[in-house]
Structure 1
Amino acid sequence: MGVVVSLEDSKNRQASVKPLVDLTKGDMERVNQLILSKAGSDVQMIPEVANHLISSGGKRLRPMLTLASAAMFGYAGDSHIKLATSVEFMHTATLLHDDVVDESDLRRGKSTARTIWGNQASVLVGDFLLGQAFRMMVDVGSLDALDVLSTAASVIAEGEVLQLSVAKNMETTEDDYLQVIRAKTAALFAAAAEVGPIIAGASRAERNALKSYGMNLGLAFQLVDDVLDYGGSAAELGKNVGDDFREGKITLPVILSYRRGTPDERQFWRTAIEGGENGDENLEKALALITRYNGLGDTIARAQHYGTIARDALAPMPASALKSALLEVIDFCIERLN
C-alpha cells in the first residue's frame, strides 16, 4: 500500500554509503567489539534486549560520522572509538524508548524489543545503554565532547516530549514540526559529527562546519523517512507503510496536505488523526490527498534544501576521500532507495 515516489536525481549512479563504510571499516570493527562488550551485563535480560536491537542490521551511520569526522582532522588516538560507541548507544536507547512511546511492533523488519520483553524492560535497558554511553564519554576525558553529547541527550529528550505535545494535533505548523525533528533526530547527527573534530583539536570554525553538516543531514534524513512512510515499501522502511498515519503522527506530508485542503478535507484529517479513525480505508484516502497536494514532492524538496546546506557546510574543508564520502552520504540519505 502506498504511492511510490522516485527520489532519484539526474545522476546515473545511485549514491551509496559504501565509500564511508569502506573508509571507516577498521575503526567500525573496533566500535562493534566495544558495543558487544559494553552491552554485556550479569543481568541476563540486558544483553538479550540490547543485542536484539544492536544486531538488527542498522547501517550505524551516526558512529561512522564520528569516526570519519575525527579522521578528517588527522586524529590518531583511541577516543573516537569510545565516542562513536557512545553515539550508537544513545541512538539505540532512543529507539528502545521511541518504540514504547509509539507502541511500535516492528523495527527494521523485526519485532520490537517491547513486543518480546515488554515496555518496562525496553525502557530500563535503554537507560542502561545511556549510562554506559556516559561512562565512555567520561573515560575519554574531553569536557567539550562530554558537553556536546550530554547536551544532545537533553535535547533529544526535549524533542520526545515536544512530539508528545503536538501528537494528533492537526494545528501543528511546519515550524513546530521542524523543531521536533531538529531535536529528536538532527541533534544526534550534529553531535556525532562535531565530537570528531573536538578530540582532533580542530578549530571552532571546523567544529561548527561539521556540526552544521550533521544537523542538516539529520533534517534531510528524517524528512525522507516521512516520505517513505507514505511513499515507500515495508522493505525500505523496516516497518509497515502507513505506520505514522496509524499512530496519529503529525509529519510534514500530512501538515502540507492539511493546510492546502478544503474544509471537508481538513475535517477528514481531524477525524483520522485526532479522532483515531486510521484504518486502511482512511489510509488510502490520506494517500490520495497527499498526492493531490504534492505533500511528498514538497517534503522531498525540503530534504534537498537541507542537503544543500549540509553540502555547503563542508565546502571550506580540503578535498579528501573522507570529504567525498561524507558528501555522498547526503545524496544517499535523500535518495535512500536501497
Structure 2
Amino acid sequence: MKYRDVLAPLVLLCSLHAALSQTPPPPTPAPAPTEETLTLRVASRVVALSAVVRGKDNIPVQGLTKDDFELKQDGKDVPIRYFSEASELPLTFAILVDTSGSQRTLLSDEVLGSDVFFQTMLGRPQDRAMLLRVDAEVDELVAMTSSPNRLHLGLLGLYSRSSTANGTRLQDAIYDVARLKLSKQTGRKAMIILSDGGDNGSRKSLDEAIHEAQQHNVQIYCIEYSVFTPGAFTSGGIGIRRSNVDEGAKILKALAEQTGGRMYTVGKMSLRSIYEQIGSDLRTQYELGYTPPPDLKPGSFHRLELRTKDRKQIVQARNGFTFEP
C-alpha cells in the first residue's frame, strides 16, 4: 500500500473531527430599534409647521436657529422640540390649474410658466411634483414624479374642454390632493393653485378644504389669474361679474393665509416673477415641531402662532390644527 493511500483517509477524518468539534456560532440577535424607528414613534404626536420668515424688503431670512422662534398654542408658549432648515428635507408639491371657461385665454401663459418652474424646482431625486387639471372634473394629468420631462409632457393636457368648462371643483381638488396625495409624503409639502378662485360644483366646503391642508401641513400658494374688464366678461357663454371676481379673491386669500402660503395676483406681478418668489420660499423654509399637551380632546381645534423674537420679521406658517390622535 502506498503512503498517500494511508494519508488521505487520515486527513479526511481529522477534518471531519475538527468540523464537528467547533462550537456553533451564536444565533444572530434581532436588530435593535434604530434611531429612525424611535423617531417615527415619537413623531406620531408631533405637530409640525413649515415656516417662511421674511425680513426687510420682503426677502426670506435664512440662517435662523430654534432659539430665534417663539411658538404658542391657544395663546400659551410651547417648547419647540424639532427644528431644521427645510432645504435639507424632500420637497413635494402639486400644481392645480383651473381650466374652466373663465381661464381659457390664460392657459398658454400658465403652461410656459409652470414648465419653467418644474425644471427649476426638481433638481434632486427626492423632490417630486404632480400636475392636476380642474374644471367640472378633477383630473390627475401627471402622478407624483421627480421627472421634469414627464411633467412637461403632462402640460400638453392643460386645455379648456367645452364639455366640462362650466364648472370649477376647486375645493374638492384641494381637499383630495391634501388628503389622498400629500398626506402620505414626508418633508416639505406645498400646493400651487392657478385660478380666479371661483368654485362651482364642489361637494367640499372651503372650510373643509382648508382643514385638510392644515392637518397635513400643506402650504397653499394661490396665483390669482383672471381676465376681467369693467362690467361683465363673457367667454364661451359664461358671464363673470365683478362681485364674483372679488369673491374668488377672498377664497384664494383665505386658502393662502390659513395654511401658511401666500397669494399673488398676475398683473401686479408677472407670472414668471411670482413663480420665482414661490421657489425662493420653498427653498428657504424652516421645519419646526412640538409635542402638544396630553389632555387635548379628539376633534378639538387649536390656534397656532409662530413668530420670531425679531418683531420686524414676518412669519408665514399655518395658523391652527384639529387634534386627531
TM-score by length of 1: 0.30
Higher helix proportion (structure 1 or 2):
1
Select the structure of larger CA radius of gyration: 2
TM-score by length of 2: 0.31
Higher strand proportion (structure 1 or 2):
2
